[in-house]
Amino acid sequence: MAKRKKPNALIYGIVKLLSQIVAKVIFKRKYLRNELKGKKGPAVVLGNHQAALDFTTVIGATREHISFVISDSFYNTLPFRSAMDKIGVIAKQQFQTSLHEIGAMRNVIKHGGILMFYPAGLMSENGLSTPFPAATYKFLAWLEADVYVARITGSYFCTPKWSKKIRRGKTLLDVYKLIDKNDLQTMHEDEIQRAVDGALLFDAYREQEQHRIRYRGGDNVEGLQHVLYVCPHCNEEFTIRVKNKRTLYCEKCGFEHTSDAYGFLHNTGTVGEEIRYVSDWSRFVSDKVQNDIESGKIRHLSCPATLQTIDRKKKKYQDVGRVTVTLTPTAFLLNGTVNGEETNLKISTALFASLPFKPGERIEIQHGKTSYRCLLDDGRLAQKFVDMIKIYYQKNQAEAQKKPSVL
């Protein structure tokens, strides 16, 4: 077993201090429970991913060092990457795992450390959990360590994926032991899945109904039109607009909803029924896309795009060409010119539970060690690409479960 490099205590302490400030000032974190306090490893901690800075609320839960797993593309675009190396961060490809990455995570546990990762891999764009990759549950059993949960409530409303604004407001953090390592070894994979899903899956808007926390600027819906791109009244796509920062409306039929400081929507128009939760509106959008797929109305989705990849020396994405990106039920097709050469690339989507993306702008497609960032000519399609990927993944998983096991 390879020797685990000891993290730099000074740099880790600085990162921890800065995170504590963010947790206090932006997230106003309050612990409901903290069973990680005083816990020594080995242990694995799972988090529900509501916002980009969720890790800042967890790092102070224990005096012990936590090895966080972050996305490889994020890691390779950090200007302070060397500092991340010194505190034991593990960079991992999203929706795929190499033997090196598996070994690095296993090494933390074998040396009595605490490993933390977010099974969803991505923050939520609509207040709902992103599907977990199917391999997550088997991986937990293989780690042979106590499993803890760090469940956060409210961070989605502080820094929504679709917004450029930070909205200060209280968040609640519940840290507790989910599965003892001894029990883990006797549990069937389905039992592990039920335990993990039950602890981590969330609907931020229904949770908000229980807690009713006000967020500064929580009524600002600018950017949300890129997520809720289908009108629930007339079913038209890409007709949703924003006015007065607080109101979403359909420019075709007049459907109109206005947000309050809690993030709830209210029907302020003259047509349509009220949809109180953004998560419910998002489910409506997803259901429409699924119906269009099943009826054959949608067979594939295509869009011209500027293609970027990571320049690891400059630590940022750089333009490398122009392609047409096409999503089929089984693969992404990138056809065009990359680095001056004609390219016809086919990337299987079998393991993609979702995609890294920015609503209204881009999607990112992982292929081996390369992350292809597609700056879509029609940025409105970014969310639709993601909705379709999620539907295809769930459909493929359901079909896989129907197949008999080969012993």
Is residue 143 domain-shared with residue 181, that is, in the same domain? Answer: yes
CA distance 39 to 197: 23
In contact, 296 and 329? CB cutoff 8 Å? no
Is residue 58 domain-shared with residue 185, that is, in the same domain? Answer: yes
- Domain of 251 in residue numbering reads as 224-294
Give bridge partners of residue 367 from the DSSP assignment. 370
pLDDT value at position 238?
A: 98
Is residue 93 domain-shared with residue 68, that is, in the same domain? Answer: yes
List the one residue out of 329, 335, 320, 327 whose CA is nearest residue 371. 320
Is residue 249 domain-shared with residue 195, that is, in the same domain? Answer: no
pLDDT value at position 407?
A: 35
Is residue 24 domain-shared with residue 172, that is, in the same domain? Answer: yes
Residues sharing a CB contact under 8 Å with residue 357, sequence separation 6 or more, in sequence order? 125, 363, 364, 382, 383, 385, 386
Is residue 110 domain-shared with residue 54, that is, in the same domain? Answer: yes
Strand order in the sheet with 370-376: 341-348, 331-338, 316-327, 301-311, 370-376, 362-367, 357-358
Asked, for residue 124, whether it belongs to a domain, the answer is yes
Asked, for residue 58, whether it belongs to a domain, the answer is yes
Asked, for residue 1, whether it belongs to a domain, the answer is no
What CATH code is carried by the domain that includes residue 315?
Answer: 2.30.29.30
Length of the chain: 407
Alpha carbon of 268 to those of 122, 247, 261, 272, 306: distances in Å?
Answer: 33, 9, 15, 10, 39
Asked, for residue 345, whether it belongs to a domain, the answer is yes
Burial class (CB in 10 A: 0-12, 13-18, 19+), 11: middle
- Point out the domain boundary residue: 294, 325, 349: 294
pLDDT value at position 1?
A: 44
- Point out the domain boundary residue: 211, 233, 255: 211
Asked, for residue 355, whether it belongs to a domain, the answer is yes
List the one residue out of 346, 329, 347 whose CA is nearest residue 395. 329
pLDDT value at position 405?
A: 45
CA distance 38 to 26: 26
Q: What is the DSSP string of 255-300?
A: -EEEE-TTS-EEE-SSSS-----HHHHHHHHHHHHHHHHHTTS-S-
In contact, 115 and 109? CB cutoff 8 Å? yes
Q: What digits encode the pLDDT tens for the residues 87-110? A: 888 888 776 777 788 888 999 999
Asked, for residue 193, whether it belongs to a domain, the answer is yes
Asked, for residue 133, whether it belongs to a domain, the answer is yes
Is residue 76 domain-shared with residue 175, that is, in the same domain? Answer: yes
Is residue 159 domain-shared with residue 241, that is, in the same domain? Answer: no
pLDDT value at position 404?
A: 55
Is residue 337 domain-shared with residue 257, that is, in the same domain? Answer: no
In contact, 133 and 121? CB cutoff 8 Å? yes
Any idea what DSSP says for residue 212? -
Is residue 247 domain-shared with residue 349, that is, in the same domain? Answer: no
What CATH code is carried by the domain that includes residue 80?
Answer: 3.40.1130.10
Asked, for residue 219, whether it belongs to a domain, the answer is no
In contact, 35 and 148? CB cutoff 8 Å? yes
Report the number of distinct structural domains present in the chain. Answer: 3
Q: Which residues of the chain have pLDDT under 70?
A: 1-5, 95, 400-407
List the one residue out of 382, 389, 327 whose CA is nearest residue 354. 389
Map residue 303 onto helix, strand or coil: strand
Q: Which helix (H) or strand (E) holds 326?
A: strand 316-327
Please give the structure tokens belonging to residue 200. 């981590």
- Point out the domain boundary residue: 178, 211, 244: 211
CA distance 276 to 268: 12
CA distance 279 to 181: 35
Q: How far is CA 171 from the centre of its chain?
A: 18
Is residue 152 domain-shared with residue 28, that is, in the same domain? Answer: yes
Q: Count CA atoms closer than 13 A to 325's CA, side-chain side.
A: 25
Is residue 259 domain-shared with residue 241, that is, in the same domain? Answer: yes
42: preceding bond cis by omega (within 30 degrees) = yes
